[in-house]
Amino acid sequence: MVFYVATVLVQYAIAFGLALLLNADIKGRKFFRVVFLLPFMLSPVAVGWMIGKSMLEYRFGPVTRLLRWFGWDEPTLLTSPWLAKITVAAMDAWVWIPFMVILLLAGLQALPKEIQEAAKVDGATGWQNFCQITFPLMLPVSVTAIVLRIIFQLKLADIVITTTSGGPGGATDTVSSFIFREYKDRSNVGYGTAMAEVYLILIIIFIALLLKFTSKYMQRPGV
């Protein structure tokens, strides 16, 4: 779970970059907005079957066949512990990055244009404009997007259960998927229920501390 939660920062960086592109005055902007939001309309279970069980299938999947064609004799995307973990994280990111893009794009469109135009008149470069104006002004929206994404990430189970069932050797397991297998597959109802209750308490404590930390950070002078 620590690995999966840590990937939220990578997802945020990608989402911020996409939001900046979609907010820019580029050709076909409306088309790309629709394309980038399409994964968010899919169910994680559907993504697990469509990509994990079909496209990444070891023997006949089109992706693994393509990798063999490029010279990778044993494309172990879902059988190697670290590769499987990265693959699951990538599928989950593909589904949820559009959610962060929506929040960040809304924040970018709400920024006062006068400040950015004044910075350009004063000779600020694009990078200076981003570091000193856009990013600081976007901090409240960024914190909201990251906190919400972490909450969703702590519940990650659908893609893991559908694609790898926690394997190989529990490498891709999340707490939620482990509780599901204990409860359903192994019929450990009492153990599974106890773990779910403890995990709920831990999530509440973690989110409360995270919100308290971010609230204090946002109240600092100059933020």
* Angle (CA) 192 156 33, round 5°: 160
Which tokens go with 165? 């069932």
Q: How many CB atoms are closer than 10 A to CB 118?
A: 12
DSSP 25: -
- Whose tokens are 């590769």? That residue is 83
In tens digits, what is the pLDDT along the chain, a chain of 223 residues?
899 999 999 999 999 999 998 888 777 777 887 888 888 888 888 888 888 888 888 888 888 888 888 888 888 888 888 999 999 999 999 999 999 999 999 999 988 888 877 877 877 787 888 888 889 889 889 999 999 999 999 999 999 999 998 888 889 999 999 999 888 878 888 998 999 999 999 999 998 998 888 887 777 665 5
Domain coverage including residue 157: 2-218
DSSP 73: S
Asked if residues 23 and 109 have their Cβ atoms less than 8 Å apart, the reply is yes
The Cβ-side half-sphere exposure at 84, using a 13 Å CA radius, reads 23
DSSP 219: T
How far apart are alpha carbons 118 and 160 in whole angstroms?
49
Which tokens go with 187? 């019929």
Q: What is the DSSP string of 42-67?
A: S-HHHHIIIIIIIIT-TTT-HHHHHH
223 domain-assigned:
no
Q: Which phi and psi (to 5°) does residue 87 adopt? A: -65, -45
* Angle (CA) 32 35 36, round 5°: 85
How far apart are alpha carbons 87 and 78 in whole angstroms?
7
Q: What is the CATH number of the domain that holds 24?
A: 1.10.3720.10
- Structural domain count, the chain: 1
DSSP H or E segment with residue 149: helix 139-153
pLDDT at 220: 67
How far apart are alpha carbons 66 and 216 in whole angstroms?
50
28 domain-assigned:
yes
pLDDT at 50: 87
Which tokens go with 108? 């970018």
